[in-house]
Amino acid sequence: MSALRRKFGEEYHVVTTTVGGGFFPSVKRKRQRFVDKNGRCNVQHGNLGGETSRYISDLFTTLVDLKWRWNLLIFILTYTVAWLVMASMWWIIAYIRGDINRPHDDNYTPCVANVYNFPSAFLFFIETEATIGYGFRYITEKCPEGIILFLFQSLLGSIVDAFLIGCMFIKMSQPKKRAETLMFSQNAVISQRDGKLCLMFRVGNLRNSHMVSAQIRCKLIKSRQTPEGEFLPLDQRELDVGFGTGADQLFLVSPLTICHEINRRSPFFDLSQKSLRSEQFEIVVILEGIVETTGMTCQARTSYTEDEVLWGHRFLPVMSLEEGFFRVDYSQFHATFEVPTPYYSVKEQEEKQTPSSPLNSLCSDKYNRERVCSLDYLNVFEVGSSLLPTKLQKLSRTHDSTQRKLLRMCSSNVERACSTGDLPLKIQRITVSTCEDSEESTPLKYFKVKPECMTQSTGNLQLPKKTQGMLTLGTMLESNLPAKLRKMNSGCIS
């Protein structure tokens, strides 16, 4: 038989064939995760070489990080070896002094009373170490070496007790088991919320005790290649879950839905329903907080692969109002239902909704050059003054009633240019007022100007004197004006 490997997306299916061409059922290859669903990281350190000595230098942390079976084995072996060594030293002292050969001699004062073999020496050490003190075995004043050994035994016993008992206490008080009561939804979903495409998942706390200062973070684990050709395996990128708005700070007394908005800054900006099937990534969720009962920091982790992200789904509500309290139904904690969701990405959606700019179609090359926008140029862009409405004549007689005065021109020895670059494009009427001369002033005049000419800005430039061509053009346009407006404009154009 031969084995054929077929690739579907990023996963492989092993298909076994026979000589006759028949196929056996395919076996799906399991997706390798960076972080398991229970939060355990699938990373092993190898080929440390001489760096293993660093673990011995931090022996206390090394013992705490060991598994419980190894901790208990070290605890038992340490006390057993220490007891046997110290009991042997008491037996050696009794043997050297000859106390073993004279066990029941009333005229002889031994180093330790009633110690005449190894079992009796071992019992004496246990009674001394545990401060039991039955009163049957005791040190006499005739044994200075026994007194020195007794002091050494007390100091060594205190050090061993502090080290091992402290290690066991830290091991038992670790808040790792507290993370078992912090729940994450089995799947993440992508759907719209408030008109925006969002990636969402759910977290919950099974205990009544709160998580103080609970904070959540998300990491996107995805291999990529830089434009320079560097390959970054398992590159980590941050997913914004409300860091700028404070939404990442959780009040976790009931299940919450964490939301990541997919926008231009999101790594999922070009992710669509179709591309999701061919992507390979992993979202690592990290929930941190202080356990209210112990005051120790707790961290819970989980991850979501691309197969666990459901497009077009939403979580079912789990909160209900009862008489006097709110009830959480954890049986629906992982449940989702389908909702209408665009199948294309946010990038494609923005490209479809973005209209073409009117400036690109209206402005040609000649409008890209700087121009001077004065009263004469406004008259040039005027498409026939005969099209002016009759209301324009009435408005020109009122100087203070209008609220749309946007441009003023002073007819003095030096004519100044007016800047219109900061004006809106949709302005259809421009109020042009001339300053008072030494003896008389002219009323306001209104002109209708196309929007494209309003996009040009000239600043505070000084214009040269009008040429003969401009005077002739003004005279020609004046002939098309109504009688009242021609009379009113005669002083300005001529």
Say if residues 456 and 423 touch (Cβ distance below 8 Å). Answer: no
How confident is the model at residue 324, as a pLDDT?
A: 87
Three-state helix/strand/coil letters over 98-152:
CCCCCCCCCCCCCCECCCCCHHHHHHHHHHHHCCCCCCCCCECCCCHHHHHHHHH
Distances (CA, A) of 101 to 104, 105, 113, 143: 9, 9, 13, 17
Q: Please report, for the chain, how many H helices and E strands are present, in that order.
A: 12, 20
How confident is the model at residue 210, as a pLDDT?
A: 87
CA distance 396 to 230: 70
Say if residue 235 is exposed, middle or buried (CB neighbours under 10 Å; 0-12, 13-18, 19+).
middle
Say if residues 254 and 333 touch (Cβ distance below 8 Å). Answer: no
* DSSP calls for 161-172: HHHHHHHHHHHH
How confident is the model at residue 347, as a pLDDT?
A: 92
Contacts of 279 (CB under 8 A, 6+ apart): 10, 271, 306
pLDDT by residue for the chain (494 residues), tens only, comes to 333 333 333 343 333 333 344 434 444 456 789 999 988 899 988 888 777 778 888 888 888 888 889 999 999 999 999 999 999 999 999 888 888 887 777 788 888 888 888 988 998 888 888 878 777 888 888 888 888 998 999 899 899 999 888 988 888 888 878 888 999 999 999 999 999 999 999 999 999 888 999 999 999 999 999 999 999 999 999 999 998 899 999 999 999 999 999 999 999 999 999 999 899 999 999 999 999 888 889 999 999 999 999 999 999 999 999 888 999 999 999 999 999 999 999 999 888 887 654 444 444 443 344 443 333 433 433 434 444 455 445 544 444 444 444 434 433 333 333 334 444 434 344 433 433 443 444 343 333 444 444 434 444 444 444 444 444 444 554 555 566 556 665 555 44
Q: List residues bridging with 211 in a β-sheet.
A: 291
Strands 445-448 and 297-305: unpaired
The predicted-structure confidence for 137-193, as pLDDT tens digits, reads as follows: 888 888 888 889 989 998 998 999 998 889 888 888 888 788 889 999 999 999 999
How confident is the model at residue 444, as a pLDDT?
A: 37
How confident is the model at residue 402, as a pLDDT?
A: 42
Q: List residues bridging with 432 in a β-sheet.
A: 407, 445
Contacts of 448 (CB under 8 A, 6+ apart): 382, 383, 387, 388, 428, 429
Say if residue 379 is exposed, middle or buried (CB neighbours under 10 Å; 0-12, 13-18, 19+).
buried
Say if residues 292 and 176 touch (Cβ distance below 8 Å). Answer: no
Say if residues 63 and 71 touch (Cβ distance below 8 Å). Answer: yes
Task: Give the chain's largest Cα–Cα span.
Answer: 152
Taking the model in full, what pTM does it have? Answer: 0.59
Say if residues 115 and 121 touch (Cβ distance below 8 Å). Answer: yes
Pick 180-350's CATH classification: 2.60.210.10, 2.60.40.1400, 2.40.170.20, 1.20.1050.10. Answer: 2.60.40.1400
How confident is the model at residue 429, as a pLDDT?
A: 42
CA distance 342 to 357: 25
Backbone angles phi, psi at 189, to 5 degrees: -125, 155
How confident is the model at residue 440, as a pLDDT?
A: 40
How confident is the model at residue 480, as a pLDDT?
A: 55
Say if residue 114 is exposed, middle or buried (CB neighbours under 10 Å; 0-12, 13-18, 19+).
middle
CA distance 150 to 154: 6
How confident is the model at residue 184, as a pLDDT?
A: 96
Q: Give the domain 54-173 fold.
A: Helix Hairpins (1.10.287)
Backbone angles phi, psi at 284, to 5 degrees: -100, 125
User: Start-end ranges of CATH 1.10.287.70 in the chain?
Assistant: 54-173
